Every structure is written in structure tokens, then in C-alpha cells.
Amino acid sequence: MLTGLFFAVSGYLLGSILFASIISKLFHKDIISKSPDKNYGTANAFRYGGVLCGALTLLCDMGKGFLPVFIYMHTENPSEVMLPIVLVAPVIGHILPIFSKFKGGKAIAVTFGSLAGMWPNWTTVLTLCFFFILFMTLIKITPHCYCTIITYCCTTLVSFFIEPVKAVSIGMLMITIACSIKMLSVPEEREKFDVRWLWKH
């Protein structure tokens, strides 16, 4: 239990490091004033900082989710009770970073990192990939924030049926709630909700 608490706190603190802010400053790029959502995240790092800035931010954001979960899972007898908290901690850290006055990003890349930390059990992270691809290609959902929320909700639902480690499904549910609240609270002008099939575009 204490080990799980240690990795949860460590994950939160690591998640609180906004690499988009650090890396964009190293590249002398302003990724905030130009962005409509004022979000220090991977998408804005790519969009307004360039490919290298975005790629480094993506790796770091995924890494800060991956490391605490992966290391925790390879400790002696990791507690399944604490696993959901360890999974969600880096995500909460990114959304409400203690080092940035609790003003963070949407934690999509961090979510992928946290779930990937369950290696070699990638059931839920691959499910998340599947629904993102599905809802951005065959079934086009706009705007992006609603596409993401629906993707997370579908992943959570399916995870409870196919995920062999049920604590991961609980963690995914907690991540979905946290990320959905964050995305809906971002003050940005959104397009009208729309769902289109690929062949009707």
C-alpha cells in the first residue's frame, strides 16, 4: 500500500511538469498566445512549435505517464487496489499541475503513457488507439474535444469486458472522468457537434 502511495505521489509530481512549456521555451516558440484553448499540450506543441518541439513534448508527456506505472508494476507484489490511483495520478498531475498553479493540459498523451506502462498488458491502450482511429476516420466526430470524450467513454466501457486486470478498467474510468471534466471546462469556441460517416464526407 505504501509503495502504491509513493508511486501515486511520484506520478502526480512528474505529471505536474509541463514539458510543452519547457520545450517550447527552449525552442523560443510561443505556443499559448496563438492557441484558442491556451493549453500546454502536445497538440499545441506540434501546431505552434513545430515537428521537433511537438515530437519531444509527445515523448516526454507519454514518458511521465509510462514511468511511474511501469516501475510500480515491476515492484514486488504491486497492490491491485492502488493500481487505479497510480494510473490516474500522472493524468491528474498534468491536468492540475502543482508547479503551474494547477493550470495544465488535457492529458491525452499522458493517458496513453500511463496505460502503456501496463506493458506487456496493452489491452486497454490498444482499445483506446482503436477508438481514436475509428472516430477520426471511418466515423468522423467533431469537434475534437467531443471526439476525445466519446473515445474515452467507449474505451472505458469495452475495457470492463475485455481487460484482464479489472483495476486497469477502474483506472481508465477515473482517467475518463478527469479528462472529460478538463476538456469541457476549457474556455474555447467549439464547432457544432457533428457525426459523419467516411463515405458521406
Instruction: Write the pLDDT tens digit of every residue in 77-91.
Output: 888 999 999 999 999
- Phi, psi angle pair for 92, to nearest 5°: -60, -40
Whose grid coordinates read 477520426?
136
Question: Model confidence at 60, in pLDDT bands (50, 70, 90)?
Answer: very high
Give, in degrees to the nearest 5, the angle at Cα 19 between 78 and 128.
55
pLDDT at 201 over 60: no
How is residue 130 written as a grid cell? 482503436
**DSSP string for 51-119:** HHHHHHHHHHHHHHHHHHHHHHHTSSS--TTTHHHHHHHHHHHHHS-GGGTT-----HHHHHHHHHTTT
DSSP at 143: S
Question: How far is Cα 123 from Cα 162, in angstroms, rounded to an integer?
Answer: 8
Instruction: Write the pLDDT tens digit of every residue in 107-143.
Output: 999 999 999 999 999 999 999 999 999 988 888 887 8
| pLDDT confidence of residue 163 | 96
pLDDT at 195 over 90: no
What spatial distance separates the first Cα and last Cα of the chain, rounded to whole Å? Answer: 51
Question: How far is Cα 70 from Cα 123, in angstroms, rounded to an integer?
Answer: 15
* Domain count across the chain: 1
How is residue 158 written as a grid cell? 469495452
| pLDDT confidence of residue 45 | 82
Kindly report the pTM of this predicted structure: 0.91
Name the residue range of residue 82's domain.
2-200
pLDDT at 152 over 80: yes
| pLDDT confidence of residue 151 | 96
